[in-house]
Structure 1
């Protein structure tokens, strides 16, 4: 996965479509992205669903926490109207429905587990079971800001690549990565520097930068040796390459 420079649609093509919806993922695929990034949480009845915020308020016409909804009620919410009236009726997809669609593509998948605030006790198992069922383990990366969760996953499965998410500089993050047991680093692009890149490259650690929307930033990160970027505008990023 890390041998060439890859472009991931951040929550799909979230600059042009309602984030974390099937239309957004399909738009990223159509734009020529190598992969898509999405966020996963659990409903009250333990169904993995694709949504970023812990609450549904910002992206849907509903109110409340994802964890307090049954899946059938969450699926009735409109996740497109708040972005644009032309996407009215788009729903919060289940992870299962996205994986079903993904099997018809060659896209790489990055799943971010949204379990830093609510630990979602069964989230890792639910996600791994679905990936195994759809035979997508070998083209999926699982990341999280909850590094305990990533450590647990790294110990449980060698089939899925795991990544720690970082917003700030860490002292010797390559050593910390080894301690967690993960294999790659997903990091805020603005904190990447020469020292970080030379040391990660030397150790063969894939570095993927988020969220990168400007062509000059994309080119700079590619030149610096990043394996991939996450972008809200995959169509622009593909043309930039």
Structure 2
């Protein structure tokens, strides 16, 4: 069965990377959530996609330039009346203790070098004994290789947005058990060949109904989608 990961939570229906979006993903029946991790000025693991807080909050500036306490003073922009805050990875993990969801952590290390972010993420995973429930991905493949060196028992998967030749060969070369390609860059033959070679395929961001149906029919390992409820409904009909 194709697993469904809720991209930044249920980002199509709720403010992305918020506890509200993750709770909605669980309610919708997703198998896991996907989230983005960066470091605050005081070295805390915070869950936010952009390197700046401009787009998603009522503040301005770089995540790295604010302490956690300062980041918590900003509100997430939302159409609802609820006041939502930037969560820490630890807050998300506390919530994950209440369910069995998988969690795909994307390390946002392509543009800014966050010192020891890999060590901090691995240490937190081990503290919560979540090794079997975590996937670590990044567009910066040096980051995930560092995670593998620190904890080979935690699965890593490279993110990429271009067409990759024989992606299963590359995945195996860096000790990854999966790949996370842009859905536009991977075809049915590459998906099947990767899976036949023991590499899980979890394309992002699968929001179109025809893409969901195609990938369910292929029994693709997983999809990463902004609309987990739609995906769960379609999976029921097409598997």
TM-score range, shorter chain: over 0.9
Determine the structure 1 residue equivalent to 2:41.
Answer: 44
The whole-number CA distance in structure 2 between the counterparts of 1:69 and 1:226 is 40
Pick from 150, 162, 172: which aligns with 1:168?
A: 162
Q: Which residue of 2 aligns with 1:155?
A: 149
How many equivalent residue pairs?
235
Distance in 1, matches of 2:185 and 2:199, equals 17
One of 60, 65, 82 as aligned partner of 1:63: 60
Q: Is the 8 A contact 2:122 2:150 kept in 1?
A: no
Compare 135-144 and 210-219 and name the one that shifted more.
Answer: 210-219
Any idea what SS the aligned residue of 2:190 has?
helix
Aligned counterpart, 1:103: 97
Pair 1:83 & 2:74 matched: no
Q: Mind listing any 5+ residue stretches in structure 2 that lack a counterpart?
A: none
Q: How does 1:171-182 map to 2 (within 5 A)?
A: 171-182=165-176
Q: Does 1:216 align with 2:216?
A: no
In the TM superposition, what is the alpha-carbon distance from 1:109 to its structure 2 partner? Answer: 0.5
Kept in 1, the 8 Å contact 2:171–2:199? The answer is: no
> In structure 2, what is the Cα distance between the partners aligned to 1:18 and 1:233?
12
**Match of 2:197?**
203
Write the distance in 2 (CA, Å) between the matches of 1:107 and 1:173. 27
> SS in structure 1 opposite 2:203?
strand
How far is the alpha carbon of 1:102 from its aligned partner?
A: 0.5
Gapped regions of structure 1 (runs ≥ 5): none
Say yes or no: does 1:236 pair with 2:218: no
Worse-superposed segment, 187-196 or 162-171: 187-196
Deviations 1:55-100 (CA, angstroms, capped at 9, x unpaired): 0000000100001100000011101xx231433x100000000000
Q: Identify the match of residue 122 of structure 1 among 116, 139, 159.
A: 116
Does residue 184 of the first structure (1) align with residue 178 of the second (2)?
yes
Q: Which stretches of structure 1, 4 residues or more, deviate above 4 A after TM superposition?
A: none
Matched residues in 2 for 1:62 and 1:38: separation?
20
The aligned residue for residue 136 of structure 1 is 130
In 1, Cα distance between the equivalents of 2:198 and 2:216? 15
Q: CA deviation at 1:31?
A: 0.6
TM-score if structure 2 supplies the norm length?
Answer: 0.95
State the superposition RMSD in angstroms.
Answer: 1.1
TM-score w.r.t. the length of structure 1 is 0.94
